[in-house]
Amino acid sequence: MKAKAIFLAESGSPAIDNAYDVDVRASLTAKVDLYPDYINRENAGLHADRIQDAEIAFSTWGITAFSEEELQRYLPNLKIVFYAAGSVQRFARPFMARQVSVISAWAANAIPVIEFTAAQILLANKGFYRAARHYKQSGEYREAQQITKSYPGNYGARIGILGAGMIGRGVIETLSRNKVTIDVFDPFLPDAKAAELNVRKTDLIDIFTNCDTISNHLANLPATVGILNKQHFDLMKPNATFINTGRGAQVVEDDLIKALREVPTRTALLDVTNPEPVLADSPFLQLENVIVTPHIAGSMSMEIFRMGQYMAEECERYLSGQALRFEVTPEMLETIA
C-alpha cells in the first residue's frame, strides 16, 4: 500500500506546478498516493477527515505556516515535508517540534546563486560595471580601458566572502581555479574547514578595508539584521564592489548609499533589498554606481525543475529507508539563511 501524500500550498498555486513539473509529478504518483487538492490553513478543516493519515507532504515557495496545534489537528500522522525551495526559516519550527522531518532543496537552489555570484565577482574584478557604463555614456574607448586597468583582474584579486555556508563555500570552490586570495568572515567556520578551503578567516573590518570585491552570504537571522553598516561601507576601497545575494535586512541601506555617494567609483550590485521590491524613490534606482536586479540569483525558469527533482529523489530515499541528504536540523536553523 502506498504512503499517502499531500501538497501544502494555496489552491491552484503556480509555484507547485513550476517546482513539480509533469515528469516529477508522474514519478511521485508512481510511488505515493497523492491527494488531489492542495492543502493550506484555510481549507485544511474541510479536508481534515481525508488527510488525517497523510504521511508525506510536498511544498515549495508559498507554503502555509501551520502552528503546532493545527498540525496536530489536521495532520497528526505527518512524518516528513519535502520543500522544493531554499530557506525553511519561515515555517519549519512547528513541524520540527512535532518530530516531522523537514527536507529542503537548498542544495539545488544554491547552484544558480553560486553561478550568479561567482560570475558577478569575476566581472567586478575587471571593472566591468564602471567601464561598460563609461564607454556607453561617453563613447571614450581609451578612457573605459583605463578604468578597467585600475582594477586587479582575476589574478591576484582579494575577495571577501561573508558567510561560508553552502552558497559561500560553493562560491569559494568555484573561484578557487583563479589565482585569487579569499578572506572569509564566518564565526561558525571551523579552522580545519577554512584550511581545507584555502581561505583566511578574519573579521568584517579587515575584509571591507582590504578586499577588492565583497560578497554577502550571511544567514538571515535576527543577529545579522543591520550587521553591515557605516563602519564597514566607509572602509571600502575606492574601486571596491559590494555584492548582496543574501538578504537586504543585513544591510543598513542608508549607510551603503552614503558610502557610494561619497566615493562614486565604488560599486554595489544588489539582488536583494529591504524592503523588496526596492522602493520607487530609493536612491538605489538613481545612483549610477548601483546595479539592482530583481532577486534573480536563485532558481528561475527551468532551474526550478531541479528543486522538484531533488525532492523526488529524497522521497525515493525516504521510502526505501536510505539516509536522506538534505534534512534540516534544529542546529542548522541557527546558521542557515
**Rounded CA separation 61/141 (Å):** 45
Nearest CA among 4, 112, 24, 15 for reference residue 59: 15
**Is 3 strand, coil or helix?**
strand
Cell of 183: 578572506
Of 247, 261, 266, 306, the active-site residue reads 247
Of 98, 133, 295, 317, the active-site residue reads 295
Q: In what order do the strands lie in the sheet with 56-59?
A: 32-39, 3-8, 56-59, 80-83, 101-104
Annotation says 177 is catalytic: no
Q: What are the backbone dihedrals phi and psi of residue 176, each rounded to the nearest 5 degrees, phi first?
A: -65, -20
Whether 319 and 203 have beta carbons less than 8 Å apart is answered as no
Annotation says 200 is catalytic: no
Whether 116 and 245 have beta carbons less than 8 Å apart is answered as yes
Which spans in 150-248 are helix H? Answer: 166-175, 191-197, 204-210, 230-233
Other beta carbons within 10 Å of 279: 13
Catalytic residue ranges: 247, 295
